Amino acid sequence: MGKSARPGLLRCDLQRHVIEKRMKYLRISWRQQIPFTSSLASGVHSMDMDPVDNRYLLCGAARGEISIVDLERPFPTDSRSRVEHAVTPCRAACLHGSLITCCQWYPQDTSTFISSDRVGKLWDANKTQVIDEYFFDNEITEMHWCNAFVRNPLIAVANLTSNIILIDPRVGDSSHNLRWPEERVSSVRWSLENGNILTSGSVRGTIMVWDVRSARSQLMTVTPSSRFSCHCKDSGAECISGLRFSNDGLYLVSLSLNHTFTVWRAHTMEIINHVWLPQEYTTKIAPSIRFDICSDDGVLRTCTPVGNEVLILTLDKRDQENFRVLLVGHFQQVNACVYRQKYNQVRDSACRH
């Protein structure tokens, strides 16, 4: 038993070392190009990597266009030549009328995906056409399709009201709502481990955990300590602008508009750590932040748009000098970034891609 376990441990250590080294030395790749049409010159504002194969990149643009990028086509025959990935635009008749605030693949395969502005759209990815629509009075700030392995994953919708709408794609309508009195919901995220547990963030900086099966619903309410909010005194700075779980589902990361990351233990919502975006970047951050988590090697990192750059920042360590890598390559503001698991790549988009 001991002899067989040791090679496995060595392989794990080697894998972690390789991933850590790749993350420390991330640089822009001039070989891989995405040839978007001129209609997307206004920029891609929302992206999602398919969670099954990590192959298809979903892109939502400022003018309502949706495109699917195949990151494995064409296959490079020469390691020195430039590759232009295949881009499939969705049908013009089905597109959104305004900026796409959110897009996401169906978590269990690449047959369908969702996108939103004021309207939520459910797409057939193979035919690139809309199969259902959900209309709202307010613009959707975030939609999240439950990515736990459940028979009927629901879609949670936040649109800066006190209601969290839960959509059941099977019936084509909302199954029920979760009401959060005296709060406006800015962000939502399903648990990776339990398809009935939903986490939401509010404009006033509060985080609530829900059990969608319960008549009472609310499990707990937590708030990052006010003493960690001193870096920004602007009105609304405590707003929870994003929630993300680590790959193993054990940790929840929240990002507030006061430029503070808070790391929570997902099961108990105990605060583990606070990390601020470095002071030199805090004036560049956008009001809505599309960040992602990189934790393939067990080290909790975020990739976050800051101005015309992307910042890779570790959240694990309690010391003030958290390791960081700054990815430079754009001349305009970066709108969103996603991490491509297994490949250790960061994909980002700016006002001109």
**Cβ contact 290:47 at 8 Å:** yes
Residue 329 belongs to a domain: no
Residue 311 belongs to a domain: no
Burial pattern 50-89, b for ≥16 Cβ within 10 A else e, equals: beeebebbbbbbbbbbbbbbebeeeeeeeeeeebeeebeb
Please determine, for residue 291, whether its predicted confidence score (pLDDT) is greater than 80. Answer: yes
Read off φ and ψ for residue 12, nearest 5 degrees.
-65, -45
Cα distance between residue 48 and residue 299, in whole Å: 22
Read off φ and ψ for residue 14, nearest 5 degrees.
-65, -45
* pLDDT (0 to 100) of residue 332: 79
Which residues, at least 6 apart from 54, have a Cβ–Cβ distance to it below 8 Å? 71, 340, 341, 342, 343
**Cβ contact 116:100 at 8 Å:** yes
DSSP codes of every residue in 245-283: E-TTSSEEEEEETTSEEEEEETTTTEEEEEEEPPGGGGG
Residue 100 belongs to a domain: yes
* pLDDT (0 to 100) of residue 230: 47
Greatest CA separation for the chain? 63
Mean pLDDT for 115-131 is: 94
* pLDDT (0 to 100) of residue 26: 84
Which residues, at least 6 apart from 257, have a Cβ–Cβ distance to it below 8 Å? 232, 234, 236, 237, 238, 239, 241, 285, 287, 289
Cα distance between residue 114 and residue 130, in whole Å: 9
Q: CATH no. for residue 45?
A: 2.130.10.10
**Number of domains comprising the chain:** 1
> Which structural domain range is residue 94 located in?
31-290
Read off φ and ψ for residue 197, nearest 5 degrees.
-105, 125
Residue 25 belongs to a domain: no
Residue 8 belongs to a domain: no
Question: Predicted confidence band at 215 (pLDDT cuts at 50, 70, 90)?
Answer: low
Cβ neighbours, 10 Å, residue 258: 23
Return the higher-pLDDT residue of 238 and 319. 238
Cα angle value 78/28/311 (rounded, 5°): 155
Residue 306, phi-psi category: left (phi > 0), alpha (psi -120 to 50), beta (remainder): beta
Residue 338 belongs to a domain: no
User: What are the C-alpha distances in Å from 61 to residues 45, 47, 254, 255?
Assistant: 5, 9, 25, 23
Residue 16 belongs to a domain: no
Q: Which residue type sits at 141?
A: T
Residue 1 belongs to a domain: no
Q: 344: which DSSP letter? A: T
Read off φ and ψ for residue 92, nearest 5 degrees.
-60, -35
Q: How many residues does the chain have?
A: 353
Please determine, for residue 272, whether its predicted confidence score (pLDDT) is greater than 70. Answer: yes
Element spanning 293, H or E: strand 292-294
**Cβ contact 339:324 at 8 Å:** no
Please determine, for residue 329, whether its predicted confidence score (pLDDT) is greater than 60. Answer: yes
Q: 284: which DSSP letter? A: G
With a pLDDT cut of 90, the percent of the chain lying above it is 48
Pairing of strands 112-116, 119-124: antiparallel
Name the least confident of 83-92, 111-120, 218-227, 297-306. 218-227
Which residues, at least 6 apart from 175, have a Cβ–Cβ distance to it below 8 Å? 154, 166, 167, 168
Please determine, for residue 102, whether its predicted confidence score (pLDDT) is greater than 60. Answer: yes
